[in-house]
Amino acid sequence: MSAWPSPPHAPQTPRRRHPARNRVRRAQLRAREHRLAALRYGPPYSRELPLYGAKTIAVRDGFVVMRGQPKTPTWTLMAQTADVGATSIRLQGPVNWAVGDVIAIASSSLFANETDSASITSVAYDASTNVTTLGLDQPLNYTHLGITVPVNGDQHGRVLEMRAEVRLASTRNLIARRCRVGVRDRCGGCATGALLP
């Protein structure tokens, strides 16, 4: 005797998802917060995978999702003037930049080539003043302004912002590279510039 089909208004039992798929979905939503460098190495005569080649990150019948940590903001303004030789700068507002990130400081003079670049050694945010202080690994070569100047003769009290822009130059914490040398034992040269994108 066959069972009658359930009426349309009967509650449907929820479909259970595979636990491995749930873990994958949760992992996809999380952004990686630390640095990850995928180094592909091997000799030039390495055996190639059909359809893919050698030194590849390959997926068949699937997909790979890599999400790095979003950096906000990507640029901001100086909160205070930094003179030549300074090893720290003060920025307007909070940033989520990390130690080891590289920044570029734009020129605030008449000469466009007076720019600086340095790696961040420390990050400290003061909520009372809304200012972030960055420690730098090398002293500045040029002065970068972070001031406001009142406009002479302006009846509305407007000011001119004379502030250098500070940009995050290293925005990626997930990096895939291949070694030019090719052999793992000799790939110490990668640290000296033997890496290719």
Residue 24 lies inside a defined structural domain of this protein = no
Domain that holds residue 150: 75-168
Both tokens assigned to 94? 């909070």
Asked if 89 and 78 count as a contact pair (C-beta separation under 8 A), the reply is: yes
Q: What is the CATH number of the domain that holds 123?
A: 2.40.30
Residue 98 lies in a domain: yes
**Helices within the chain (DSSP H only):** 19-29
* Count of Cβ atoms closer than 10 Å to residue 157 Cβ: 7
Q: Is the pTM of this model over 0.75?
A: no
pLDDT, tens digit only, all 197 positions of the chain = 445 554 455 455 555 554 545 555 555 555 556 667 777 777 767 777 777 777 777 788 888 777 777 888 999 999 999 999 999 999 999 999 989 899 999 999 999 999 999 999 999 999 999 999 999 999 999 999 999 998 888 888 888 999 999 999 876 677 777 665 544 444 444 444 444 44
Lookup: tokens for 49: 């995978």
